[in-house]
Structure 1
């Protein structure tokens, strides 16, 4: 909302919008006229511009969307949702969500796009595209595959309940809110079990290796004593401000919550997976083997990349990139004087202790040192930076075995929590020293931390964009950021440069494997063999990566394709502007409006280039 005045007219305008929806008007001109007519006798503004109409609509859209995603609300600082959980999986709730999307699609059509410019135009185009895509996706039964070994609301809930995530535990009301949220979780988890059982009947299940990795995540929470539960964490840290009576009552409530509600819910799911789901899970791995799987995967490509590319095109791009990067790796092998084939060099990098740390503490300390070096050099290429800091932290033990090697968690919008660059220290042989610089650039600065924290700090950006995003933009930017390493004065050590190539190779192989699994009938073992042949990655890391691509079709395509598009836009801008091209200004243009679908980003950059010419 741009002003107090605009906030005052919000409810009146939404009433007007609803009224217009029922008039059957067919032109934007007539509809806009009706929308601009607000009850003057009520002492409210008589006319609203198209921009004001849109501001009201997107604010209403975001607020209503949080009822479907209370978890996101908590992450985004909307604490009034802290007592709620993801709605149960049901036909009724899917229908409600579809009606929600259609309602805002209709309302958006009432606004005259031709009158919009700048951020308003971007917001219109983004929401228009997003709503159409969400409705298109509802034809596919993803509710039959609601969780996997990589992700799911069950893991988010455990993080919240541990007291080490975004769920606050500062007041009695906070503790009570989590008890209420837990009731929603138990209901949701029961609906997950029902949906997955339905999936068995319809032949839509997780591949067996994924289901086998998922089951221990639930079994881990089946404890005999409440004190042994992850959810006892907040009780261990009861605030000093609580009275003795409040501490006693809260402790008793949490003991009952854990032993009478959470443990039985987790045991039920664990038993279901072990006794029913895993024995009936499928042997194949790709979406192409599912009913209507080809179309389903094509949708996943479009959703994750925002680009119109076929699986065959992407597969060929990946093969070409893997070959190119292998040639670069051979040059590094020769530079460091290694005698032997590239495959032997890979084995040397995998097996030699000199490339790995002995303890998790040494690993984290090394990343903290690299952080200081990179942060000092960022002004060379950037004239903007987020206000929020970030910290380096080891992945929590309860999720380390299945978690990615590194990840990033955004800071709290109110500044109460910094961004977190997570390093997985579960397997030190999966964390080579030569990845220090490139991984830090990617996950922290100027990669994910720069992009995501800046997005949250952009003044006036609608909440649905401030807290939204696109994998292809976020991951494309982070991989593009890696390519800036030499310009930042990094990668001077040949092994560190190899680390950059290794990381880029990982993303190139993803193009091959993702499309291989889901469009070309590749097996899990084919994927493992391909990655081991074309990289120096640890086998445990390779297996985790392969199973990730199987679980998240299309997601892994976003990195390389997003990087390609941003680099393409940089090359275009430089060619068009010549001596006027300023790399800092270009980076500001990429980041200053938050995450955008690639086609919308391209049009925006072209408008910017034209304005600079």
Structure 2
């Protein structure tokens, strides 16, 4: 999973029922029409960066690094109106005069706008804080800032100074949410007070916002450093900490008591429609929650049978449940310190790198690194995540790993986890998209969850083709991760559409997976707070695997796995239906 809460504004998808019928486009776009389309895309990209300075930061554009998004009700309404106007403007451009590549760009942007406009009804912005992130973890954006010059530090100081306004806007949204009956579940929001408290420090140098000032590059003159440090300490003392005290008072005393006891999104206003919408949004399919639930049950049964075989191969004589307990508890499967765990992750990444040529012809140019998840969010976040590199190549991609409680981080999960989050999973998918020739920026940075997470889960199985699963415990790790995503289909739909309790979901997960309880509880709480997103992984993987089998069957000896994998990535992130049409055309070309 890439760092979703920081990049949520990049995600866009639409149910495939809205896809256009296949048409024969002209060989070359009409010149004037293409110019109009390209100008429209450029203007909309610029609007997106201007309205979301955070997105600009993640894409390596420093122009807006001294500010945050305006999250006032008025500004949100203005952005929504601009989305509606943009869709009207796009539809004035003659799609029929465009060649295939430009039609794909046109259709993709249209889907993004249509989805954004359809989402306006549900007013998701009224819940601006999640236990996995929000204003209380705003310092996290510093992870992707370069801090290469005095101006970079001044920009960060400006963002720090603006925290009171940001907090006020978040509180205003939460108050409006309370009025509208749109509040998150109490069981997950009970994690947030500790996150807010971590921002309230007596000594400014202990603030998470202060980290960049603990070291300076050579490009920052010594004469500037003392002033920067003094300004940082003053800003934290006078702006940042008071702002978080205000947030703490409102959240703990007023908001948390008004959060809801139920966990299902269907208990919110328009909740049933919202969940059905989210299922289509994240999977980019027309599948209904009940259908997805059944797919999950079948996948769980299939993977359990595979686990029984691997258990027998290890010589373990107990039940599968006993084997799970053994995998969760035996000391030989765990590192003793965070430092040793980080070194183990980095060693796994180095082991994977030279094997990539076995499954790809094309290796992306952008490098990646392995970093620990920041301590202030590690207890409440996932096992790992990926942060894409900058669009201009100025920042590599990063694979972030969770070092909190190393006794809960089994080593048998490291290979599939690294294949998914780093290479050839999310890093390949994002880096290859940035290298799309002549594509507009929104296409190079697009992220459809079913494609991206489906690819990440598919990449875990590429470990077999790369010769990485020679140890049966590593193979059990791969099956555990496959099971993890199958279980998601069952428990996400179970909790949000079939009346399951949180406890039932946790126990179902524990019964069918060797993942530790620490991970399982964090995962279940993630599904509660982010309904529908977890459905995309397995649905996307099943489609990519199905297309691979189809290509191998139809091409026979002409099938080249490396060429197939390249073909999947060469579209950039697209809905699954678009990917299927592309692979069908690729098969025909190979034949």
TM-score, normalisation: structure 2: 0.92
Q: Is residue 2:86 matched to residue 1:108?
A: no
Counterpart selection for 1:71 from 48, 54, 58? 54
Measure the CA separation in 1 of the matches of 2:542 and 2:99. 27
SS at match of 2:371: strand
Q: Is residue 2:52 matched to residue 1:82?
A: no
| Consecutive unaligned residues in structure 2, runs of 5 or more | 1-28
Q: CA deviation at 1:248?
A: 3.4
Do the aligned residues in 1 keep the contact of 2:126 with 2:173 (CA within 8 Å)? yes
Structure 1, 427-436 or 541-550: larger mean CA deviation: 427-436
Counterpart selection for 1:373 from 329, 351, 356? 351
Measure the CA separation in 2 of the matches of 1:430 and 1:68. 40
Q: CA deviation at 1:243?
A: 4.8
Q: Is residue 2:339 matched to residue 1:356?
A: no
SS at match of 1:128: helix
Counterpart selection for 1:51 from 34, 37, 41? 34
Counterparts in 2 of 1:127 and 1:241: CA distance versus 1, 3 Å:
closer
Q: State the structure with more CA Rg.
A: 1
Where does residue 139 of structure 2 map in the other structure? 158
Structure 1, 507-516 or 248-257: larger mean CA deviation: 248-257
SS at match of 1:309: coil
Measure the CA separation in 2 of the matches of 1:152 and 1:301. 23
TM-superposition CA deviations, 1:212-260 (whole Å, max 9, x none): 1112111111111212212222222244554555333323322221111
TM-superposition CA deviations, 1:101-157 (whole Å, max 9, x none): 1222122212222232343122111011111111000000211111201133542x2
Counterparts in 2 of 1:115 and 1:578: CA distance versus 1, 3 Å:
farther
Do the aligned residues in 2 keep the contact of 1:514 with 1:549 (CA within 8 Å)? yes
Measure the CA separation in 2 of the matches of 1:204 and 1:173. 40
Measure the CA separation in 2 of the matches of 1:67 and 1:580. 48
Do the aligned residues in 2 keep the contact of 1:85 with 1:182 (CA within 8 Å)? no
**Number of residue pairs the alignment of both structures matches:** 563
Measure the CA separation in 1 of the matches of 2:385 and 2:220. 35
Counterpart selection for 1:317 from 290, 295, 298? 295
| Consecutive unaligned residues in structure 1, runs of 5 or more | 1-35, 37-46
Counterpart selection for 1:188 from 157, 166, 183? 166
Counterpart selection for 2:198 from 220, 235, 252? 220
1:243-322 counterparts in 2 under 5 A?
243=221, 245-322=223-300
Do the aligned residues in 1 keep the contact of 2:163 with 2:243 (CA within 8 Å)? no
SS at match of 1:316: helix
Q: CA deviation at 1:402?
A: 1.3
Q: CA deviation at 1:425?
A: 1.0
Greater relative CO, 1 or 2 (CA 8 Å, sep 6+): 2
Where does residue 3 of structure 2 map in the other structure? none
Do the aligned residues in 1 keep the contact of 2:264 with 2:497 (CA within 8 Å)? yes
Do the aligned residues in 2 keep the contact of 1:405 with 1:430 (CA within 8 Å)? no
SS at match of 1:506: helix
Measure the CA separation in 1 of the matches of 2:136 and 2:438. 33
TM-superposition CA deviations, 1:272-330 (whole Å, max 9, x none): 22111222211100111111100011111122111110000000111111111111111
Q: CA deviation at 1:472?
A: 1.1
Measure the CA separation in 1 of the matches of 2:247 and 2:182. 18
Measure the CA separation in 2 of the matches of 1:568 and 1:243. 57
TM-superposition CA deviations, 1:171-211 (whole Å, max 9, x none): 23222222322344432221111221222233221111211
Counterparts in 2 of 1:339 and 1:575: CA distance versus 1, 3 Å:
closer
Where does residue 313 of structure 2 map in the other structure? 335
Measure the CA separation in 1 of the matches of 2:368 and 2:411. 21
Q: Is residue 2:80 matched to residue 1:98?
A: yes
Q: CA deviation at 1:545?
A: 0.4
Aligned residues: CA RMSD: 1.8
Counterparts in 2 of 1:115 and 1:417: CA distance versus 1, 3 Å:
same
1:473-492 counterparts in 2 under 5 A?
473-492=451-470
Do the aligned residues in 1 keep the contact of 2:391 with 2:445 (CA within 8 Å)? no
